[in-house]
Amino acid sequence: MARPQLAPGTMGKVSLRERAGRWQARANARTHGGALIPLTATGETERKARDAIERAFAAAVVMGAGALSPTSTVGDAIDAWLATQQARAAGGSLRRQSYETYAAKARGARDAVGAVPLHLARPRLIEPIIENLVVGRGVPYARGVQFVLRRSFALAVQREAIEHNPLSESMSLSAPEQTLAHLTPAQWQSMMASIETWGRRPAVRADWRRLVALCSVIVGSSLRIGEVGALRPCDLSLGGSPPAMVVTRTVVEVGGRLIIQDVPKRRGQERHIPLPGPTADALRAVAARAAGPAALLFGTSTGEPDGNPDRLLRTWRSSPEGQAWMQSVGIATRDVTFKLLRRSAASHVRGSAGLEAAQALLGHADAATTERHYAGLPVVDAATARLLEGIWG
């Protein structure tokens, strides 16, 4: 009687035998297209040889290079997830910059737990490793690893390699509490005075005026540092009343190279921003030294995007003047960033003009993002205080 033909997408009987101290597994499989293919795999034990041929079958027949099984490693799942993101980037549904960011985070995740078999990936194993990353590498790094692992495990569940996502209900990783949410006008003025005092010291060679200009632009417009780096004289209307700028671009890194992206962080975040006088004055002085209307205001000496715009800020922070200023206002070194200035501008605008004005200034698509990250505490209506006064006397 003829042996029944293998159905498409199946593997036949596995034959196992030991040779020279290693086990060899052989079987035939039929692809979904109907082709019959031979499979061979080896392992130190009979079980390992059988597991190896199962992986070979999955890779060759079930789902190609993205095949996952319980014996696949976490690294395999990360690679499979990253391949889906690469496909999205190629199709235009994911920005290339985002894919590069995912790839960088994936390297960290692979280094942390890439060799662990999927069937052994349990919360009791994964979570302590992430907690150790928080201590050793910091919250942002650990959060990036957690992000990649959670999505890679979700893909493994979808592809029936595991039943549950070990990080689906994992602990939330919160960033360290900031010592200062935003600067007051007096703190801002003292910061600028400290930078000038530092910059005018004979031993200091840093371009402190460039740092003052960068800070002035951000605190007067709440731009992201990448958006500042993409500004050109032709983006400014400094002779108007009030002076203004248009924000239509940003600096991004793609494939290890800095490029100008023709939209801000996301499409739809282009905006027209009226400028306060000091910010307009700072931009006017920088624009006067620009090579032309399309030259970068804060580019390198060769006209390229600046890949390290915060180097001057870091240098000032580590100086005696910078340390003294931070001690006087009670702020940790790690919190003195360009984002602090962006948040300061938005917080004061929100307090005076409301959440929608702060959202428009920041270029956020969602007001909840503005409320959560940049605009300080929710403002309770003054009528609430009068109500409580009426209750409690």
Task: Give the H/E segment covering residue 251.
Answer: strand 250-254
Q: What is the pLDDT of residue 243?
A: 83
Instruction: List pLDDT tens digits, range 271-312.
Output: 888 888 888 899 999 999 998 999 999 998 888 988 888 899
Q: What is the pLDDT of residue 391?
A: 38
Q: What is the pLDDT of residue 366?
A: 56
**Is 74-159's fold the same as 187-373's?**
no
Each as own residue / partner, the long-range contacts of residues 359-364 (CB below 8 Å, 24 or more positions apart, any chain) are 360/271, 361/221, 361/222, 361/271, 361/273, 362/222, 363/224, 363/247, 363/264, 363/265, 363/269, 363/270, 363/271, 364/269
Q: What is the pLDDT of residue 38?
A: 85
Q: What is the pTM of this model?
A: 0.62
Return the percentage of the chain with pLDDT > 70, whole number.
82
Domain 187-373 in CATH 3.30.300.210? The answer is: no
Q: What is the pLDDT of residue 93?
A: 82
Please state, in angstroms and rounded to a whole number, the distance separating the CA atoms of residues 267 and 365. 10
Distance between first and last Cα of the chain: 98
Contacts of 237 by beta carbon, 8 Å cutoff, 6+ apart: 243, 244, 245, 246
Q: What is the pLDDT of residue 263?
A: 80
Whole-number Cα distances in Å, 186 to 125, 193, 230, 246, 270: 49, 11, 29, 28, 31
Domain 74-159 in CATH 1.10.150? The answer is: yes
Q: What is the pLDDT of residue 309?
A: 87
Sites in the chain below the pLDDT cut of 70: 1-3, 59-60, 62-66, 168-171, 174-180, 255, 348-393
Q: What is the pLDDT of residue 327?
A: 93
Q: What is the pLDDT of residue 110?
A: 92
Ranges of each domain in the chain: 10-62, 74-159, 187-373
Q: What is the pLDDT of residue 104?
A: 87
Give the type of residue at 318: S
Q: What is the pLDDT of residue 393?
A: 37
